[in-house]
Amino acid sequence: MTTEGEQRPPLIWDLPLRIFHWALAIAVGVCIYTGLDGGFYAMDWHMISGYVVLGLLLFRIVWGIVGPRHSRFTAFIYGPITVWHWIRGALRRQPPAVAGHNPLAGWFIIITLTALLVQAITGLFTTDDIFVQGPLRHIGPPPFLDWSQAEFLRFMTRIHRQGEWIVIGLVALHLFAILAHRVYLREPLTSAMITGRKRGAPAGEAIGGERILLGLALGAAAAGLTYYIVNL
């Protein structure tokens, strides 16, 4: 809500990106809960939610190239000096104004997406030799690895199990960052990712269009590619 004479915050986050964000949060939450539970039926949901994560990541990779400007990777990947200047300003509660993701958050996003992608890929090869069998367990190791099929599957399973705790740590750090922005920097990130409008962003940084039809097409393509990969 805005008072009389007050301008609405500019639209920064497009609708496809916002849907991706909340869908990924739900899917990762289900993955973590079911992975820790480890029950027979829980693992069915664990695998389904993992496929959802994989499809969402495939969409995000492409959207980071062709999406609106603040969704593109080039918009929030900064050098170390810029990151350090932002951190110094944030500690003084005066961070440099950034329309999209700030320099520190940009690298956190890259790390998180990479960790989730590793989890999604290794999960396709994971097996416990009892009742959990990844859909690509029949595919052998790359030619440059002098491993047997069993050795390769054990390696992928170990990476997947250890990576779960990395993802949990990243989720906890993300929640802490949201709280710090809200309490310390007085910046409500959650509402911005719901409405797409970011308070304090320059009006000239508003995106011109949300590219909803393109987002739907790419989302359908990512879902189709995930289905193909799972059923190889």
Confidence at residue 6, expressed as pLDDT on a 0 to 100 scale: 57
Q: What is the DSSP letter of 125?
A: T
Confidence at residue 50, expressed as pLDDT on a 0 to 100 scale: 96
End-to-end alpha carbon distance in the chain: 50
| Domain positions in the chain | 19-230
Render pLDDT for 125-163 as a digit per residue (tens, 0 to 9). 998 777 778 999 888 888 888 899 989 999 999 999 999
Confidence at residue 122, expressed as pLDDT on a 0 to 100 scale: 96
pTM, two decimal places: 0.92
Q: What is the DSSP letter of 10?
A: P
CA–CA separation, 134 and 89 (whole Å): 46
Q: How confident is the model at residue 5 (pLDDT cuts 50, 70, 90)?
A: very low
Q: How confident is the model at residue 39 (pLDDT cuts 50, 70, 90)?
A: confident
Tokens found for residue 38 = 């480890």
Residue 17 has pLDDT above 90, yes or no: yes
CA–CA separation, 20 and 112 (whole Å): 14
CA–CA separation, 74 and 204 (whole Å): 18
Residue 208 has pLDDT above 90, yes or no: no
Tokens found for residue 94 = 């005066």
Work out the mean pLDDT of the chain and round it to a whole number.
Answer: 91
Q: How confident is the model at residue 41 (pLDDT cuts 50, 70, 90)?
A: confident
Class of domain 19-230: mainly alpha
Render pLDDT for 88-116 as a digit per residue (tens, 0 to 9). 999 999 988 888 899 999 999 999 999 99
